[in-house]
């Protein structure tokens, strides 16, 4: 797939993974075998999503994000559709990464997709978004402080980032705060400070391992998404519900 430029221009990698999931689901269905393993919400939220969010925050261009923060917040607040579309931020912009869109457009949509999780709860609980962000900043600063003391034990430097980054997600979840924003701001703080504190080899290790974990998590999610579409045990068809949902989405997106 990656060696064929014409194919990558027609179908994004996420779409191909979903198609692979369809094929696997069709094989299972054709063999009259029940699916013994499904992607449970607990697995998604506590094992797969943190890897994606941490990589998103760590890889985000900080200067562009904060210089456009006002526009991003207005965009997030005005989009009522975010109430019914608070989704994985990396999956939302996967196509943008494929086609290399304008950087400002990328950061506006990317920033809104990160913050719409906060928008969904900010309407009623403003402290959830701010608290989650604060937890992430605290853990990010803690990682930055610890990496200043590891110049003679560089082998454990990457471990601090992954373990404490995951702990920031769990801590926010335990406190009923926004775990997504917590992990995002932890990644932002890491990017800003640890590059100056750690050895260049450790920085490269963190960058590539984080990408591997995030891409692996995305692959699992998209493949299981395709498999789920072919699972007869969860099929429920309601024409009225589908049509009304599409109608209201278009109406409120327009408003």
Q: Which string of DSSP letters, residue by residue, matches the chain?
A: -TT-HHHHHHS-HHHHHHHHHHHHHHHHHHTT---S----HHHIIIIIHHHHHHHHHHHS-HHHHHHTHHHHHHHHHH-GGGGG----HHHHTHHHHHHT--HHHHHHHHHHHHHHHHHHHHTT-HHHHHHHHHHHHHHHHHHHHHHTT-TT-GGGHHHHHHHHHHHHHHHHHHTTS-HHHHHHHHHHHHHHHHHHHS-HHHHHHHHHHHHHHHHHHHHHHHHHHHHHHT-GGG----HHHHHHHHHHHHHHHH-
State the sign of the Cα–Cα–Cα–Cα dihedral 132, 92, 101, 190: positive
User: Could you tell me which residue, 25 or 113, shows the higher pLDDT?
Assistant: 25
187 in any annotated domain: yes
Average pLDDT on 193-203 reads: 81
242 has pLDDT over 70: yes
In a domain, 36, yes or no: no
User: Cα separation of 168 and 50, whole Å?
Assistant: 10
The domain in which residue 160 lies consists of: 41-113+121-254
In a domain, 131, yes or no: yes
Q: How far is residue 12 CA from its own chain's centroid?
A: 17
Q: Residue 134: its pLDDT value, please?
A: 94
pLDDT in tens, 21-58: 888 888 877 777 666 667 788 888 899 999 998 988 88
- 34 inside domain: no
Q: For 178-194, what is the mean pLDDT?
A: 86
Residue 13 lies in a domain: no
Terminal alpha carbon distance of the chain: 40
CA atoms within 13 A on the CB side of 139: 29
Assigned domain for 27 exists: no
pLDDT number for residue 139:
94
Number of structural domains (the chain) is: 1
Residue 69 has pLDDT above 70, yes or no: yes
* 136 confidence band (pLDDT: 50, 70, 90): very high
Residue 166's pLDDT band (cuts 50, 70, 90): very high
Whether residue 26 is contained in a domain is answered as no
pLDDT over 70 (residue 124) = no
User: Residue 168 pLDDT more than 90?
Assistant: yes
Q: Return the percentage of the chain with pLDDT > 70, whole number.
A: 77
Residue at 58 is within a domain: yes
Give the pLDDT confidence of 146-163 residue by residue, as tens digits: 888 877 777 888 888 899
């Amino acid at each position: 797939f990656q060696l064929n430029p014409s194919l990558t221009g027609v179908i994004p990698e996420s779409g191909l993974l979903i198609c692979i999931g369809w094929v696997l689901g069709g094989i299972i269905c054709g063999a009259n075998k029940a699916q013994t393993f499904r992607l449970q919400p607990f697995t998604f939220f506590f094992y797969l999503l943190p890897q994606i969010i941490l990589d998103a925050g760590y890889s985000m261009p900080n200067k562009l994000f904060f210089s456009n923060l006002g526009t991003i917040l207005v965009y997030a607040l005005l989009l009522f559709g975010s109430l019914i579309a608070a989704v994985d931020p990396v999956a939302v912009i996967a196509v943008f990464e494929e086609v290399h869109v304008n950087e400002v457009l990328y950061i506006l949509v990317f920033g809104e997709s990160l913050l719409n999780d906060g928008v969904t709860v900010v309407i009623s609980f403003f402290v959830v978004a701010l608290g989650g962000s604060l937890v992430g900043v605290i853990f990010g600063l803690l990682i930055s402080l610890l990496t200043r003391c590891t110049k003679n034990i560089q082998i454990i430097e990457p471990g601090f980032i992954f373990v404490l980054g995951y702990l920031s997600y769990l801590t926010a979840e335990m406190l009923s705060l926004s775990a997504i924003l917590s992990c995002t701001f932890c990644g932002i703080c890491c990017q800003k400070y640890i590059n100056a504190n750690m050895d260049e080899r450790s920085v490269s290790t963190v960058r590539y391992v984080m990408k591997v974990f995030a891409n692996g998590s995305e692959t699992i999610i998209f493949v299981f998404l395709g498999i789920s579409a072919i699972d007869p045990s969860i099929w429920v068809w309601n024409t009225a519900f589908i049509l009304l949902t599409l109608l209201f989405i278009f109406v409120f997106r327009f408003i």
